[in-house]
Amino acid sequence: MVVAGNILVVDGVRAIHKILFTMVAPECLHLLLGRKDAKVEDLQLPWRTITYLNEEEVNAEWCEYARHLHNRYPLAAVVSFHDNYQERALDIASSLNLPFFLSREVILQTRSKRLMRDKLRQAGIEQPAFAMLNSSEDLETFFARHHQSGIVIKPEIGSASEHVLPIQNYSNLLPIKTLCGERGLYPALGEQFIEGQEYSVEAFSSNGCHHFLGLVKKEKFPNSTIEMGHIFPAPLSSELQAAIVQYVGASLDALGLENGPSHTEIILDSRNFPHIVETHTRPGGDQIWRLLLEVTGINLMAICAEFALTGALNTLAGAATNEQRAPAAAIRFAHGTPGKIFTGFRKHAESLCNEFTIEVKNLLEEGQSIPALQSSFDRIGYVMGRGNTPEQSWMKCSEILAGLL
């Protein structure tokens, strides 16, 4: 299938970029990114044009560039597969009288956790207590109201678990209050803490119909909010899976998400009742799409590319006939001693890998100092593996990682 016309891609989801080149003639593909997201690998694909703009520029400046590009290479579509870029992409598409698969309302209500919770509460979907915190005094007041359950504070718009800070008791209130002041984290969103296991729900929507592709179990680093890995499929009963899918579907409906991928994170409380943490109008990160592909044969990146260019879901329909590749798959990330020099995984990976191993990869360059674990970007590498059960896939990854560290 080849889609005719010039396409402007406004994002850095490179797994999808590679698929686009199988669907669109290379001379018709144009890449637009912020400078901070520039990578050498962009040059390894035959883009007609590659442009990096200053992220600090207002959207109008990006639209002005796009108009110049459009004058030279008339654009047939503007696509974006990452929520960090989708509002810019929408503005560009609108300025060129081109359609875009997401509305501004949906983009804002899924990027802002406060707007998301407001909208879901209005729809009658139970939400934890939450409030915007603009100062240390606000933080103290909010914690005093919810000290029995504890609270968590986080950026209103954020990802990668950066600056997500749980406060369980008065003993850690003061250091976190000090940290927020020193790092300028206000305003922040305060939420009532919910104890429970976390999962993500991967889905793709078309004209308001949500196709649920899988439930993924999350694992966290000890005493941290940062994700240590993911296990697919999540080992849950069919009844509990159905309840989660129904809850997430109702949440997506309330938020107005009718088209495109979604990655929704939830917590199951002690009653096995789901609570939404956040949702995104993009595929899940951390290679979750590869876990889905390994187990189900569904290539979420190919679905995204096809839908954005054609509005069709032929790839999703065809995937149902694919044979299952493995009963389960997992990815486990690594961290090390902060300040220690990272020597890499490659030296020992070959001898440790086995038939269960999918990939071993460094995320930090060899010879660099291991950073403190403050966000997902501070992880140093990962092992991805398969297994006959979800538990075995996680165990196989853990065994190899133990030998590498």
In this structure, are 179 and 251 located in the same domain? no
In this structure, are 284 and 269 located in the same domain? yes
- Distance, in Å, from the CA atom of 309 to the CA atom of 108, rounded to the nearest integer, reads 23
DSSP assigned state of 341: B
- pLDDT for res 115: 96
- Inside any domain, residue 1: no
- Inside any domain, residue 105: no
Q: Which of 41-50, 153-162, 200-209, 379-388 has the lowest mean pLDDT?
A: 153-162
DSSP 60-82: HHHHHHHHHHHHHS-EEEEE--S
- Inside any domain, residue 333: yes
Q: Is a pLDDT exceeding 80 seen at residue 36? A: yes
In this structure, are 58 and 167 located in the same domain? no
- Distance, in Å, from the CA atom of 244 to the CA atom of 233, rounded to the nearest integer, reads 14
Average pLDDT over residues 83-98: 95
Q: Which of 42-51, 262-271, 305-314, 387-396 has the lowest mean pLDDT?
A: 305-314
Q: What is the mean pLDDT of the chain?
A: 91
Q: Is a pLDDT exceeding 60 seen at residue 3? A: no
Of 173, 175, 182, which Cα lies nearest the Cα of 141? 173
- Inside any domain, residue 106: no
In this structure, are 163 and 184 located in the same domain? yes
- Inside any domain, residue 312: yes
Global model pTM greater than 0.85: yes
- Inside any domain, residue 15: yes
In this structure, are 93 and 25 located in the same domain? yes
- What CATH number is associated with residue 262? 3.30.470.20
Of 211, 289, 292, 199, which Cα lies nearest the Cα of 249? 211
- By the 8 A CB rule, do 216 and 287 touch? no
In this structure, are 288 and 355 located in the same domain? yes
Q: How many residues does the chain have?
A: 405
Task: Note down the domain range covering 13.
Answer: 6-100
pLDDT in tens, 175-186: 888 888 888 888
In this structure, are 263 and 314 located in the same domain? yes
Of 374, 234, 366, which Cα lies nearest the Cα of 291? 234
In this structure, are 275 and 138 located in the same domain? no
Backbone angles phi and psi of 265, in degrees to 5: -100, 135
- pLDDT for res 1: 46
- pLDDT for res 330: 97
- What CATH number is associated with residue 153? 3.30.1490.20
- Inside any domain, residue 113: no
Edge-to-edge strand list for the sheet holding 227-232? 274-280, 260-268, 197-206, 209-220, 227-232, 328-334, 381-387, 357-362
Number of domains in the chain: 3
- Inside any domain, residue 114: no
**Helix ranges (DSSP H) in 198-267:** 238-255
In this structure, are 188 and 210 located in the same domain? no
Q: Give the end of a domain, one of 83, 100, 117.
A: 100
In this structure, are 341 and 379 located in the same domain? yes
In this structure, are 185 and 203 located in the same domain? no
In this structure, are 227 and 344 located in the same domain? yes
Of 191, 348, 353, which Cα lies nearest the Cα of 265? 191
Q: Give the end of a domain, one of 53, 80, 100.
A: 100
- Distance, in Å, from the CA atom of 208 to the CA atom of 257, rounded to the nearest integer, reads 7
Q: Give the end of a domain, one of 192, 213, 245.
A: 192
